[in-house]
Structure 1
Amino acid sequence: MIEVDNIHKSFGESHILKGVSTCFDKGKTNLIIGQSGSGKTVFLKCLLGLFSPEQGSISYNGQIYADLTRDQQRMLRQEMGMVFQGSALFDSMTVAGNVMFPLEMFTKQARSEMEDRVNMVLQRVNLHDAHKKYPSEISGGMQKRVAIARAIVMNPKYLFCDEPNSGLDPKTAIVIDNLIQEITKEYDITTVINTHDMNSVMEIGEKIVFLKNGYKEWEGTKNEIFKTDNEAVTNFVYSSELFKKVRQMYLEERN
């Protein structure tokens, strides 16, 4: 579990996060949504320990990050997996090399142990024959699955995803959403996803935090979004005619 208590973050005179408090439960897909400039990227970087809030605290399974020593913070960060928006694969490395990279950097495992672990996670993301291929030789969806495999190769307690469906077609995006949710359940990870994809919200939004102008405007589940009267949320989520129709159908069924 990650607990966020009244965090504030500024850059110069720009006050980005303004007293955000929430919690993200283990074994659930937790989503952060909001318009550009709402503070969600800065919020994610605070959760990763890349930015330090000027006020408030972030704790991981009861450990307040700011109270840890540097060595303890480093150990905690090794328990975090990250899926970057553009996958961020090394072009000069094969698929297997990309996935093995964290093991080579942060463990002292024997080569055979690392290879076994790489094989296992690549099989888990349904990449059985891509080990020797380079990123340029595989599709965008396959690259995203490689990024997920690399993120989980260290068996993390926390998984962070920044716009994991960016650049993917709708069908592939659903595959990636389902894969992330399955891995979250299987590994019992605390997963936090920064997204603007409303399909992801409706498919896997077990906990949703909506940020607006640096404030936590609303939080709830994908089902509760249909029922909320919060105008800022409905304007954002139901900006398309499709989602307006979906919500109207849901409300009619409830009545």
Structure 2
Amino acid sequence: MIEVDNIHKTFGDNHVLKGISTTFDKGKTNLIIGQSGSGKTVFLKCLLGLFSPEKGHIRYSGKNYADLTNAEKRDLRQDMGMVFQGSALFDSMTVEKNVSFPLDMFTKQSKSEMQDRVDFVLKRVNLIDAHKKYPSEISGGMQKRVAIARAIVMKPSYLFCDEPNSGLDPKTAILIDNLIQEITEEYDITTVINTHDMNSVMEIGKKIIFLKNGYLEWEGTNKEIFKTDNKAVTDFVYSSELFKKVRQMYIEERN
């Protein structure tokens, strides 16, 4: 679990995060949504420990990040997996070398132990025969799966995803959403996803927080978002034609 208590973040005169408080539970896909400039990326970087809030606290499984020693912060960061927007694979490395990179950097496992772990996570993301391929030789969807495999190879307690469906076709995006949700539930990970994808909101939004101008404007589930009267939320989510159709279906079923 991650607990966020009244955090503020500024850059010069720009007050980006304005007293955000929320919780992200284990075993759930927690989504952050909002318009560009709402503070989503800064918030995610605060959760990752890349930015330090000037005020407020972030607790990981009850431990306040600001109170940790440098060694404890380093250990915590190694307990975090990250799926970047562009996958961020190393072009000069094969798939299996990309996935084993964190193990090479941060563990003292033997080569056979690392290979077993790499084989396991690649199988888990449905990549059986891609070990020796390079990123340029596989599709965008496969690259995302490699990125997910690399993010979970260290058995993290926390998984962060920045626009994981960026650049993917709708069918592949759904497959990636389902994979992230399955892994989250299977390994009881605290997963936080920064997204613009309304399909993701509908499909895997076990908890959704909506940011607007640095404030937490609304939070709830993918079921509750259809019921909200918050104008900022409805203006944002129902700009999607898909959401308009689903909203209408929901209203008709209720009647």
The normalised TM-score by structure 2 is: 0.99
Aligned-partner Cα distance in 2 for 1:148–1:156: 11
Q: Report the residue type matching 1:197 in the other structure.
A: D
Aligned to 2:113: 113
- What are the Cα deviations for residues 44-90 of structure 1, in whole angstroms up to 9, with x where unaligned? 00000000000000000000000000000000010000000000000
Asked if structure 1 preserves the Cα contact closer than 8 Å seen for 2:83 and 2:164, the reply is yes
The Cα shift of 1:241 comes to 3.0
Aligned-partner Cα distance in 2 for 1:159–1:240: 27
Aligned to 2:92: 92
Aligned-partner Cα distance in 2 for 1:240–1:53: 33
Instruction: Quote the sequence identity (%).
Output: 84
The Cα shift of 1:251 comes to 1.6
Aligned-partner Cα distance in 2 for 1:104–1:44: 26
Residue 184 of structure 2 corresponds to residue 169 of structure 1: no
Give runs of aligned pairs for residues 1-255 of structure 1, distance below 5 A: 1-255=1-255
CA RMSD of aligned residues (A): 0.5
Aligned-partner Cα distance in 2 for 1:223–1:7: 27
Q: Report the residue type matching 2:152 in the other structure.
A: I
Asked if structure 1 preserves the Cα contact closer than 8 Å seen for 2:198 and 2:240, the reply is no
SS at match of 1:182: helix
Aligned-partner Cα distance in 2 for 1:113–1:55: 43
Runs of 4+ in 1 over 6 A off after TM superposition: none
SS at match of 2:30: strand
The Cα shift of 1:248 comes to 1.7
Aligned-partner Cα distance in 1 for 2:251–2:67: 47
The normalised TM-score by structure 1 is: 0.99
Q: Which moved more, 1:238-247 or 1:89-98?
A: 238-247
The Cα shift of 1:246 comes to 1.3
- What are the Cα deviations for residues 8-48 of structure 1, in whole angstroms up to 9, with x where unaligned? 00011100000000000000000000000000000000000
How many residue pairs are counted as aligned between the two chains? 255
Q: Report the residue type matching 2:15 in the other structure.
A: H
Aligned-partner Cα distance in 2 for 1:234–1:191: 25
SS at match of 1:147: helix
Asked if structure 1 preserves the Cα contact closer than 8 Å seen for 2:81 and 2:156, the reply is yes
Aligned-partner Cα distance in 1 for 2:194–2:177: 12
Aligned-partner Cα distance in 1 for 2:246–2:153: 38
In structure 1, the gaps of 5 or more residues are none
The Cα shift of 1:242 comes to 2.9
